[in-house]
Amino acid sequence: MKRFIFIFSILFLLTGTSWADDSNEKVKLLEAAVEGDTNAQFELAGIYEEEASEYDMFEPDMELLKKAVHWYEKAAEKGHTPSQHALLGIYIYPYDDASPPEWPGKWLPLVKEMAAKGDRKAQYHLAGYYSFPHNCDTQFKGCLNKAISLYSGLLKDLPPGETTVFKPFEITTKKITRQKIDAEIARLKAMDPEAEEKLSRMNSLLTSARNSGSLKDLVDLGDMWANPNSPDKNINMAMKAYTYAAEKNHAEALVKLAQLNFERAEDMRDYQEAYFLALAAAMGEEPTAPALLSKIAGKLPPGDLPAMEAAMKKEIHEMWGE
Cα–Cα nearest to 109, from 131, 125, 132: 125
- The span from the CA of 280 to the CA of 249, in Å, is 8
Answer yes or no: is pLDDT of 132 > 60: yes
List own/partner pairs for 279-282 with CB under 8 A and 24 or more apart. Answer: 279/309, 279/312, 279/313, 279/316, 280/246, 280/249, 280/251, 280/254, 280/316, 280/319, 281/251, 281/252, 281/254, 281/255, 282/255
Give 59's DSSP letter: S
Answer yes or no: is pLDDT of 5 > 50: no
What pLDDT is attached to residue 282?
Answer: 96
Q: Do 87 and 80 touch, CB atoms closer than 8 A?
A: no
What pLDDT is attached to residue 96?
Answer: 58
- The span from the CA of 126 to the CA of 114, in Å, is 10
The Cα diameter of the chain in Å comes to 90
- Percent of the chain exceeding pLDDT 70 equals 90
pLDDT in tens, 229-249: 998 899 999 999 999 999 999
Answer yes or no: is pLDDT of 14 > 60: no
Cα–Cα nearest to 281, from 304, 262, 263, 257: 257
pLDDT in tens, 20-46: 556 788 888 889 989 999 999 999 999
Q: Judge if pTM exceeds 0.75.
A: no
If DSSP codes are grouped into helix, strand and coil, which group holds residue 254?
helix
pLDDT band at residue 136 under the 50/70/90 scheme: confident
pLDDT in tens, 262-312: 999 999 999 999 999 999 999 999 999 999 999 999 999 999 999 999 999
Q: For CA atoms 306, 311, 315, 318, give the dihedral sign.
A: positive
Give 164's DSSP letter: E
Helix ranges, 167-228 (H): 178-190, 193-212, 215-226
What pLDDT is attached to residue 60?
Answer: 80
pLDDT in tens, 140-184: 888 899 999 999 999 998 888 899 999 999 999 999 999 999 999
